[in-house]
Chains A and B, each alone.
Chain A
Amino acid sequence: MDDRDLVGRARRGDPEAFTQLMMQYQVPLYNMALRMVGGPDDAADIAQEAFTRAWQKIRTLRDAPFKSWLFQIAANLCYDHFRRGRRYGEMPDEESNKVIGLGILTPDPQERAEASERNRLVRESIEALDHDMRLAIILRDVNGMAYDEIAGVLGVPLGTVKSRIARARAQVQEHLQRYPDFFPSTREDAHAE
């Protein structure tokens, strides 16, 4: 069953349909919030509030895609989080949480430690971005959204999406280049020889 059917049922007040939508989007939405605000508890708060608001207001959703609408609500909550003076939380250590997918399991303790340090440096580089660029690159490289989807979430033109993602990548790259032991291939001259 696709989003449209579930949204249609949810608009008619069917909580099971909305629960299915929640199950479908809870991990990507939580991870978007996590990479935006840093702390797992704050990210869970934001995801919970986004789902609550989406459920309460789903009858106002007309033609916009549910996914973009939901992520837009969460994005606004992230901006509110920053506006209300909350500092970027301590970056989560994924080893303390349950991790699913994409993580490369490395049985060797040293390799695991290096992978953990690489991830910490990447999170640190994302943290250093301004909020607009951070959100754009998270939606692209964490959530895997297409540019037009991102434009729908951010409510900005495609050109702005393209620019924010490119500048964000350039800044992250510049940050990671300071750690050639961990990221030798992000150096531009690493491939030009």
Chain B
Amino acid sequence: MPSEPRIPTEPTLEELSAYLDHELDDDARARVAEHVAGCADCQARLDGLRQTAYAIRALPMETPTRTFTIPAKPRESLRWAPVAGWIGGVAAAMLIIVFGVTHVPFSPAGTSSAAPASKTSGRLAYGPPQLSQGGAAAPTTHSDNIPADSSRAFAAKNTVTVTDPRNNARRLSLMTNAPTYATDGWMVVDGTMSGDPSSNVGQIHLVLRRGSYGVELPISSETFTNTDSIGFEGTYSIAALRLPAPVSGSYTLTATWTATDGSGVTLFAELPVTIK
């Protein structure tokens, strides 16, 4: 007895969409095409997706509202390795936004000429901190109080790296410039997220905690970005962190990073920090 013609399995939404984009392999493409040819419902689904894609593609390409520029010379290369990241951190620390009671731009003399020639209006917080000029009302800054060696003594004295056991490429490194700080000292934190290029520094949460109490430390800048890794750092005045009295004691600095690939993997890097 002759069998009825067999219509291939109904394609999924993902297959129909990829079929439109010619992004299916030959077998899948042939299977979808054969099914759609004999299935009015799937033909309608496919046409609906196609018209939707056309509607988006019909959006006009617009010209930029201004001319883009670059500084005359690129900055010196920052390498990927954590140690070099620290070296990069030294340079970046010279431009760092110091987080204290108020967030204050800080750029020591001699570094502004190396800063990117950003023509932006200041809406974007990624550009280099700008010194207040002329008679502008400059905010009170803590930068003058930073000990000269707090950001320069950058040998990684307190460091940890955690690795995703299911994906060895995904690593989170965390470092501080010292294991112990005075109550009026400055803590420099640096770190690297590797193996998840779609991440950004916004996904890192830094918390300095003691027992069940903690304060979140805002990350002040990226030190580098490349296709595989992102560096971040921050410099913090211990006195400005609003730690509960007595401030002296043993703390844990925790960096938390949740992967962006939907795996639900969260890496925790923890370092002991003592404040005396």
Report A25-82 residues with CB < 8 Å from chain B CB.
26-28, 30-31, 34-35, 40-49, 51-53, 55-61, 64, 68-69, 72-73, 75-77, 79-81
Query: Which chain B residues border A77 with CB–CB below 8 Å?
Result: 124, 126
Q: Could you tell me the distance in whole angstroms from the C-beta of B95 to the nearest C-beta in chain A?
A: 12
Question: Contact: B61 with A101, CB < 8 Å?
Answer: yes
Chain B interface category by residue count: 35 or more
For residue A163, which residue of chain B has the nearest CB?
B14
Question: Contact: A48 with B16, CB < 8 Å?
Answer: no
Task: Please report the C-alpha to C-alpha distance between residue A185 and residue B125 in the assembled complex, in whole angstroms.
Answer: 43
Question: Contact: B63 with A42, CB < 8 Å?
Answer: no
Task: Please report the C-alpha to C-alpha distance between residue A89 and residue B224 in the assembled complex, in whole angstroms.
Answer: 28
Task: Please report the C-alpha to C-alpha distance between residue A77 and residue B230 in the assembled complex, in whole angstroms.
Answer: 12
Partner of B124 from A46, A156, A190 at Cβ < 8 Å:
A46
| B40 close to A (CB within 8 Å) | yes
Report B34-83 residues with CB < 8 Å from chain A CB.
40-41, 43-45, 47-49, 51-53, 55-66, 68-80
Task: Please report the C-alpha to C-alpha distance between residue A51 and residue B127 in the assembled complex, in whole angstroms.
Answer: 12
For residue B22, which residue of chain A has the nearest CB?
A146
Q: A99-B60, A101-B61 are in contact. Are A191 and B74 (CB under 8 A)?
A: no
Question: Contact: A183 with B51, CB < 8 Å?
Answer: yes
| B100 close to A (CB within 8 Å) | no
Task: Please report the C-alpha to C-alpha distance between residue A30 and residue B63 in the assembled complex, in whole angstroms.
Answer: 8
Question: Contact: B44 with A188, CB < 8 Å?
Answer: yes
Partner of B55 from A19, A34, A48, A186 at Cβ < 8 Å:
A186
Q: Scoring B residues 114 to 128 as 1 if CB is less than 8 Å from chain A, else 0, what string do you get?
A: 001111110111110
For residue A89, which residue of chain B has the nearest CB?
B123
Q: Could you tell me the distance in whole angstroms from the C-beta of A31 to the nearest C-beta in chain B?
A: 5
The interface stretch among B132-140, B197-205, B265-273 is B197-205
Task: Please report the C-alpha to C-alpha distance between residue A19 and residue B69 in the assembled complex, in whole angstroms.
Answer: 8
Partner of B63 from A19, A46, A97 at Cβ < 8 Å:
A97
Query: Which chain A residues border B120 with CB–CB below 8 Å?
Result: 44-45, 48-49
Question: Contact: B64 with A26, CB < 8 Å?
Answer: yes
Task: Please report the C-alpha to C-alpha distance between residue A142 and residue B53 in the assembled complex, in whole angstroms.
Answer: 9
- The listed residue with most B CB atoms (<10 A of its CB), out of A57, A68, A187, is A57
Task: Please report the C-alpha to C-alpha distance between residue A162 and residue B13 in the assembled complex, in whole angstroms.
Answer: 10
| B21 close to A (CB within 8 Å) | yes
Query: Which chain B residues border A75 with CB–CB below 8 Å?
Result: 198
Query: Which chain B residues border A97 with CB–CB below 8 Å?
Result: 62-63, 65
Query: Which chain B residues border A81 with CB–CB below 8 Å?
Result: 124
For residue A68, which residue of chain B has the nearest CB?
B227
Chain A interface residues toward B at CB < 8 A: 10, 13, 15, 18-19, 22, 26-28, 30-31, 34-35, 40-49, 51-53, 55-61, 64, 68-69, 72-73, 75-77, 79-81, 83-84, 92, 94, 97-104, 118-119, 122-123, 126, 132, 137, 140-142, 144, 146-147, 152, 154-157, 160, 162-163, 165-167, 169-170, 172-173, 176, 183, 185-192
Chain B interface residues toward A at CB < 8 A: 12-14, 16-18, 21, 23, 40-41, 43-45, 47-49, 51-53, 55-66, 68-80, 116-121, 123-127, 196-202, 224-227, 230, 260-262
27 contacts between A and B (CB under 8 A): A19-B70, A22-B68, A27-B63, A31-B62, A47-B68, A48-B119, A51-B68, A56-B75, A61-B226, A69-B227, A76-B200, A79-B200, A80-B200, A83-B200, A84-B125, A92-B62, A94-B59, A100-B60, A103-B58, A141-B53, A142-B59, A155-B260, A156-B260, A162-B17, A169-B52, A170-B49, A183-B51
**Nearest 7 A-B pairs (CB), nearest first?**
A155-B197, A103-B60, A83-B202, A166-B17, A59-B77, A192-B44, A155-B198
8 A-B pairs besides A72-B227, A141-B53, A154-B197 with CB distance below 8 A are A19-B70, A27-B63, A35-B59, A58-B74, A60-B78, A160-B262, A169-B49, A189-B44
